[in-house]
Amino acid sequence: MNENASSILTISLDAIAANYRLLAARAQPAVTAAAIKADAYGLGVAEVSRTLWAEGCRDFFVATIDEGIELRGLLGQARIAVLNGLIAGEPALFREHDLIPVLNDLGQIDDWRADCRNNGPAAAVLHLDTGMARLGLPPAELDALADDHSRLNGIDLALIISHLSRAGEPDETMSHRQRDDFAAALARLPWAPASLAASSGIFLGPDYLFDMVRPGVCLHGINPRPGQPNPLRAVVRLQAKILQIRDVDTPQTVGYGATHRFAGPGRVATLAAGYADGYPRSLSGCGTAHMGATAVPVLGRVSMDLIAVDVTRVPEARPGDMVDLIGPHHDIDALAEEAGTVGYEILTSLGRRYKRHYLGGDGEVA
């Protein structure tokens, strides 16, 4: 598919493998699982999951049951937990595909327990909310469960998790509070392995590691501690082809809305990518692409399929040349900051029109 595409998304499976090894070494003796929801953050769940399996990863977290079923088809032996939880009526589907539900409230605990009573004990993950107000048992439900452990009877409690809300931020007050609340909650429940840290949490110190860590975004090279040096390897390179170059001698406007007036003399190159490919429209007039080490600024509005850049400083640029939108001189974190968003959103927005090129892993998968 997309063999003739003019934009190339290169994904280094070797870098993902190296990042997994770095995180696993840092987290040990805790086990390093992987969060690969949303098609492995947009990079391809088949390629990414096989790469992680080859590195020894055995525990995976996905968001939806459909993602779980897809992953089960790829990795027959993995332990796969579904974060969005057990929705009434689904226990049979979890069992059929050997998926582990994350139990997010007392009702889901009761449903899984009933299913275990009828069909035999099966593994579940218990999720406690310590400060996200998103998924997981709220404090009052934790109290009820702590007062009556019998509600878990028959359930094979494989793991107890919680999720940090501000792990990547310099102010660690909230993270400390959540960690202490999580530890206190564990002491009130039947013993089970515990997991608190996702990517950034791994870097908060040993008392955040518990028995398992669940990195996602860091596997793909995003900096776990914005503002500090990034210990991880870049995974993604995104290149767009120059379709046309216009010599501008007299002042002229560029793109929709005529928002940019190019004074000239100079050269404007039109690239084969746009917001439909996940290049944020918010980079209109402020994004930075690169040719080699030379920055080529985005001119005017990002269109659906096209971007205009100023290549005046690259006189050798020709139609057919490739321009880095994400690359060695401008990583995803830099692009995300320019666009006023986070690396997660850039990754998961990467479009479907690129020619995808996977480097490494089990040989080169094109």
Given the rule CB under 6 A, which residues bind ligand PLP?
A: 35, 37, 61, 83, 163, 198-199, 214-218
Nearer to ligand PLP, 275 or 344 (CB): 344
Only one residue has tokens 């995976």, namely 60
131-157 as b/e: b if 16+ CB within 10 A: beeebbbeeebbeebeeeeeebebbeb
Q: Evaluate whether 80 touches 60 at the Cβ level (below 8 Å).
A: yes
Would you call 344 a catalytic residue per the annotation?
no
Catalytic residue among 37, 208, 241, 344: 37
Nearer to ligand PLP, 33 or 268 (CB): 33
- Of 156, 31, 163, which Cα lies nearest the Cα of 94? 156
Nearer to ligand PLP, 222 or 242 (CB): 222
Nearer to ligand PLP, 164 or 242 (CB): 164
Phi first, then psi: give them for residue 102, nearest 5 degrees: -90, 120
- Of 82, 8, 84, 9, which Cα lies nearest the Cα of 43? 9
Q: Evaluate whether 289 touches 271 at the Cβ level (below 8 Å).
A: yes
Would you call 37 a catalytic residue per the annotation?
yes
Q: List Cβ neighbours of 344 (8 Å cut-off, separation of 6 or more).
A: 41, 217, 222
Q: Evaluate whether 320 touches 270 at the Cβ level (below 8 Å).
A: no
Catalytic residue among 41, 241, 256, 355: 256
Report the nearest approach of ligand PLP to the CB of residue 359 (Å).
Answer: 22
Report the nearest approach of ligand PLP to the CB of residue 135 (Å).
Answer: 7
Report the nearest approach of ligand PLP to the CB of residue 322 (Å).
Answer: 29
Distance of CA 284 to the CA centre of its chain: 24
Tell me the residue number closest to ligand PLP, measured at CB. 216
Report the nearest approach of ligand PLP to the CB of residue 163 (Å).
Answer: 4
Nearer to ligand PLP, 213 or 240 (CB): 213
Report the nearest approach of ligand PLP to the CB of residue 73 (Å).
Answer: 21
* Residues identified as active-site: 37, 256
